[in-house]
Amino acid sequence: SPEPQTSYSFRGLQISSFANRSWTRTDVLGWLGELQLYTWRNESDTVGFLKPWSQGTFSEQQWEQLQHTLQVYRRSFTRDIWEFVKMLHLDYPLEIQISLGCDLLPRNTSESFLRAAFQGKDVLSFQGMSWVPAPDAPPWSQELCKKLNQDQGTKETVHWLLHDVWPELVRGLLQMGKSELEKQVKPEAWLSSGPPPRPGHLRLVCHVSGFYPKPVRVTWVRGEQEEPGTQQGDVMPNADSTWYLRVTLDVEAAEAAGLSCRVKHSSLGDQDIILYWDGNRVS
């Protein structure tokens, strides 16, 4: 059954739109696992906290320093891009997406990455101590990396953020947000029938709702045997930050008796929810 989540990945996502020579905006989101902790909209000078523990174990002063670094970065980034566009003769509008991540690994180690996409395609990443063009990136990506690699100060700052600041921030977040991150909410489950797929057949629907965290396993079974043809829906968000999933199975009407829906979720321990299809139900 799905294990309680023990490793969390931090993701920072930057979305920058350049409509023309003067209109631009940059928005940034920060996630820890499936929880959004930060929002930094273009209109705002400061990074917004979406959880009371978003500052982790950073002091006021450490947070101010980090935020200042990010403010300088956002201004410089915008200026840089305007310059690159001129230098490389690129056309507006352009979309740049930057994603930055940090995964804590066992034994106090961590793994971080930073990569950038241009018009939805990877163009470059930061590896070790330098900027590297992505495989299959346009030829100008070489030129861009060469230029970026001349700025030793920025490379040091990026390295410091990826390998020192972010892992430390994440460690503090795991500590301060522990109870919320380890929250377990049990699902409810119920059965219904959907529109018959064709005459003489039934569509059995198993609804599972209200669970947290997201990993869940829902199957149609006959006895212990998993039924082939089970259709997994997408896990959808409920409004109360829990999740919802429906799983359907099409069967001949005569075969429906003896089928059951089995739900495995970390909040249930070994006590799977099992719902039996009532062969006599009126659908």
* Residues within the interface to ligand J76 (CB under 6 A): 72-73, 76-77, 80-81, 84, 96, 98, 100, 114, 116, 118, 123-124, 144, 148, 151, 153-154, 157-158, 161
Distance, CA of 175 to CA of 198 (rounded, Å): 54
CB 2 within 8 A of CB 217: yes
What residues contact residue 200 under an 8 Å CB cut-off, 6+ apart?
252, 253
Min dist CB 157 to ligand J76, Å, is: 4
Min dist CB 156 to ligand J76, Å, is: 8
Look at residue 86 and give its three-state secondary structure. helix
Round to the nearest angstrom and report the end-to-end CA distance of the chain: 31
Nearer to ligand J76, 169 or 249 (CB): 169
Look at residue 23 and give its three-state secondary structure. coil
Nearer to ligand J76, 62 or 157 (CB): 157
Nearer to ligand J76, 55 or 112 (CB): 112
Min dist CB 91 to ligand J76, Å, is: 11
Residue nearest to ligand J76 (CB): 153
Nearer to ligand J76, 99 or 193 (CB): 99
Min dist CB 142 to ligand J76, Å, is: 12
Nearer to ligand J76, 160 or 190 (CB): 160
Helix (H) or strand (E) holding 145: helix 140-149
Min dist CB 74 to ligand J76, Å, is: 8
Nearer to ligand J76, 170 or 216 (CB): 170
Distance, CA of 64 to CA of 93 (rounded, Å): 33
Min dist CB 89 to ligand J76, Å, is: 11
CB 20 within 8 A of CB 90: no
Min dist CB 66 to ligand J76, Å, is: 11
Please state whether the peptide bond connecting residue 187 to the residue before it is cis, i.e. omega within 30 degrees of 0. Answer: no
DSSP E strand stretches across the chain: 9-18, 24-32, 35-40, 48-49, 94-105, 109-118, 121-127, 130-133, 188-194, 201-211, 217-222, 225-226, 231-232, 236-237, 243-252, 259-264, 273-276
Residue 124: burial class (beta carbons within 10 Å; 0-12, 13-18, 19+): buried
Nearer to ligand J76, 57 or 69 (CB): 69
